[in-house]
Structure 1
Amino acid sequence: MRLVIFFLLSALIPLVLCHGWNSWTNYWQSQGYFYGSQYADRAYSVSACPDECDCPSSFPVAMYCDGRGLTAVPPIPSHIKYLYLQHNAIKSLPDSALSNATNLVWLMLHFNQLTSESIGKKAFLKLGGLERLYLQYNNLTSIPSNLPLCLRDLRMDNNMIEKVSPADLEGMDNLTILYLHDNALSEVGSSLKGLNSLTLLDLSSNKLTKVPAPLPAYLHQLYLEYNAIDSIPEGFLSLFSQLQYFRMSHNLLTDKGVPANTFNVSGLVELDLSFNKLERIPSVSTMLQYLYLQANQIKEFTVGSFCSVVDVTNFSRLLVVRLDGNELSLVDIPTDVGHCLRQVLDLEI
């Protein structure tokens, strides 16, 4: 018997040393032990759940309080990781509201009645593991203080935010998604430059009159639709080595405000310049696949905008070209356009 115990311990000690105590307990759970403890945790999660919420035993780390007519945040058990509070009438988030929710990973507070003044300056301080925070469709006029630095997905669209200061998002090295569309931003200055992991930035439907700069260098998607931007700085898109989707529809762009070859960057997959004031088709990369130029003032179909040279290997990869709503007709399309746009599936004039 002693010999069996010795061999058992000799096998488990390396596991504990390499992976820690949790791996040791996980091992025994996988072998069928500690079931009583698991059931106890589930029973605790159900019994500790506020009456106005649901905490399913099949997913004991989640608490569903969405659409319940709540006006305040209910008590939150400390083991909860996913908290759904959207579609309520919550008007405030005091410092103490989330003080017990130290294990939160997701916090859904969209479609409520929060104001910037009603959110405590220390409300988010203890949420050291929060990765996803949804605050869209509230009444915020500024970004809340002391947001968790571990956030990966932050959504504050459809509020009334007027300004973003560098301190608001400082230190958020993990942030990859930032939704600020449908606010009242007139500029963002250099407040976003330090977000080194940011891949998606949506600033559409604001009050921007200039392209915001500087911006994080590794953006994949940049959305600036529905602003009042009339020009793009020379070389702007070349600053982003991984940019694939660039949307600037419903702005005030003119040919004068777009330097030559602004959009001729090889990484772009989709370019949306519809509903502007362009009179010419701008030069684009042969690698571009989707081009939207409808509802401008374009008077001429220039094949050279798509292909400077046409041969076996040099041709456009465009699949969709929208030119409807301009001053063009089918008779304006050159007969040799097929040599360049040989992969087009949808060409609208």
Structure 2
Amino acid sequence: MGILSHPSILLLLWAALVFGQYEDYDFEDDYGGEPDHQLPYYFNPNSQAEVPHFPFPVECAKECFCPPAFPLSMYCDHRKLKTIPNIPSHVQQLYLQNNNIEAVPAGPFTNVTFVREINLSYNNIKFHMIDHGVFAKLSNLVQLHLQHNELEEFPFPLPSSLERLLLGFNKISRLPGNALEGLPNMTMLDLCNNLLDDTVLKEKPFSNMKNLMQLNLCNNKLQTMPPDLPPSLRHLSLENNSISHIPENYFNRLPHIIALRMSHNNLQNIPHNTFNLPNLLELNLGHNKLKQVFYIPRSLQHLYIENNEIENINVTVMCPTLDPLNIKQLTYIRVDQNKLTSPISTYAFFCFPLIRTIYYGEQNVTVSRPSGLRTPVFRRFLTPEEFQEAEDNQETLNQETEEDHEAEDSYFHPYYH
């Protein structure tokens, strides 16, 4: 066997390096959730998909940057671009956020074949400036970011491959009935901070999205609950609307709900068994007009009912019976800024044996009915280490409550943590 030449050896070493880059790739790692310590997006080693490797320098638009270590990504963000540059056919991740782009013409996408993610957030794109069908032809597109633009309408048609679509912070007021058809793989749709009202719900636009798991409709103009949501739904965000009523049995068709966020609405009464859901972990009904509590399902762990008009927390309503074999999982309740004058009955600790924290905070009580609460926070069953951690967390809460909770409530981040 002949001895390999130096160029051949270098080529083999390069091929081994590139192969190592892809062999541990797991698509679910990218879109299955937010990592705890995510690397800067332009150095994310899991952002490449399995397509042919290139033993030579790949093409890159002159306005952009294509890292040699990740040749399938093209970074054109934060460059004051007014137009989209021509996109090489091999690109899989395209980052165009934070520019001055106003239009999405078909031309730059003419040769695009493998693109899976496009980020066009923080630009000035309007619906009528998107060429018809420019996204629909991208048969491998999985994630599309269009938040913080000037869209007045839902940007359809879209490819059937799409799984995650982010449209928050636009001016969308129309949602045609056929706009969401043909999207069988969609799992996450963010429409927060738009101009949607009840008229767009009459055609039941979400009913056929059989795999939808997360729907964000916070900061819109809704007055009623969205009808006919798909049973697949896990996370529902409806904060900062004007919803005043939850129909009885509304959640019967949504048995898989894990987190429901409806703070900053006009809710006054909750039908007793509204939240009798087997998988519900987080329920946020803060900043409403509730006067009474309601049934708490066994699975619920975190309950937020701050800034309401509750004068008395009837534990028996929350927990009608005790079942030692199926104890309730509630660990945290936030009840500050209500009208409580006395602590929650100690019976709560029989009903909710895992409860660790009740955050009373300050109450909205009159001088004639002073509050008998002596401590803003009640904690139990804490080890010294847990107690110190809770104290640290409480200090942080006290420092950040007004600003951070206002920001959190004003717009729900598209990824549940």
TM range (shorter): 0.7 to 0.9
State the Cα distance separating 1:311 from its structure 2 match: 5.0
CA contact (8 A) 1:286 1:306 kept: no
Confirm or deny: 8 A CA contact 2:127 2:154 kept in the other structure. Answer: yes
Per the TM alignment, residue 219 of structure 1 is displaced from its structure 2 partner at its CA by 0.4
Change over 3 Å in CA distance of 1:35–1:261 after alignment to 2: closer
Task: Please name the residue that 1:22 is paired with.
Answer: none
Equivalents in 2 of 1:66, 1:42: separation in Å?
26
- The CA distance in 2 between the partners of 1:196 and 1:82, in whole Å, is 27
Q: What is the aligned length?
A: 313
- Measured after TM superposition, the shift of residue 276 of structure 1 is 0.5
Once the two structures are overlaid, the 10-residue window that deviates more, 220-229 or 279-288, is: 279-288
In the alignment, structure 1 residue 308 sits paired with structure 2 residue 348: no
Structure 1 pair 306/76, CA: closer, same or farther in 2 (3 Å)?
same
Partner residue in 2 for 1:229: 243
Q: CA deviation at 1:35?
A: 4.9
User: Which of these residues, 179, 190, 210, is aligned with residue 196 of structure 1?
Assistant: 210
The match for 1:292 among 295, 299, 304 is: 304
Query: Which string of whole-angstrom CA distances, capped at 9 and with x for unpartnered residues, describes residues 41-78 of structure 1?
Result: 35341xx2122111122111111111111000001111
One-letter amino acid of the structure 2 residue matched with residue 222 of structure 1:
L
Asked if residue 220 in structure 1 is aligned to residue 231 in structure 2, the reply is no
Taking the aligned partners of 1:163 and 1:185, their CA distance within structure 2 comes to 7
Asked which structure has the greater CA Rg, the reply is 1
* CA root-mean-square deviation: 2.1
- Structure 2 gaps of 5+ residues are 1-11, 19-51, 361-417
CA distance in 2, matches of 1:81, 1:311: 53
Q: SS of the counterpart of 2:316?
A: helix
- Which of 190, 199, 203 pairs up with 1:179? 190
Match of 1:269 in 2: 281
Q: Where do residues 273-284 of structure 1 align in structure 2 (5 Å cutoff)?
A: 273-284=285-296
Q: Distance in 2 between matches of 1:312 and 1:74?
A: 64
Larger deviation, residues 143-152 vs 291-300: 143-152
**TM-score, length-scaled by structure 1:** 0.85
Q: Normalising by the residue count of structure 2, what TM-score does the alignment of the two structures yield?
A: 0.72
Cα distance per residue 1:139-164 (max 9 Å; x no partner): 00001132111100100011000021
Q: Residue 286 of structure 1 contacts residue 307 of structure 1 at CA under 8 Å; is this kept in 2?
A: no
Gaps of 5+ in 1: 1-31
- Equivalent residue of 1:168, what SS? coil
Alignment equivalent of 2:75, drawn from 61, 64, 72: 64
Tell me the amino acid that sits aligned with residue 182 of structure 1.
N
For 2:132 and 2:265, locate their aligned partners in 1 and report how far apart those are by CA, in whole Å: 36
1:13-52 CA-partner distances (Å, limit 9, x unpaired):
xxxxxxxxxxxxxxxxxxx59959x89935341xx21221
1:157 to 168, 184, 191: 168
Equivalent position SS for 1:97: helix
Q: Contact 1:236–1:262 (CA<8 Å) still a contact in 2?
A: yes
2:142 aligns with: 131
> Is the 2:257–2:277 contact (alpha carbons within 8 Å) kept by the matching residues of 1?
no
Aligned ranges 1:70-85 → 2 under 5 Å: 70-85=81-96
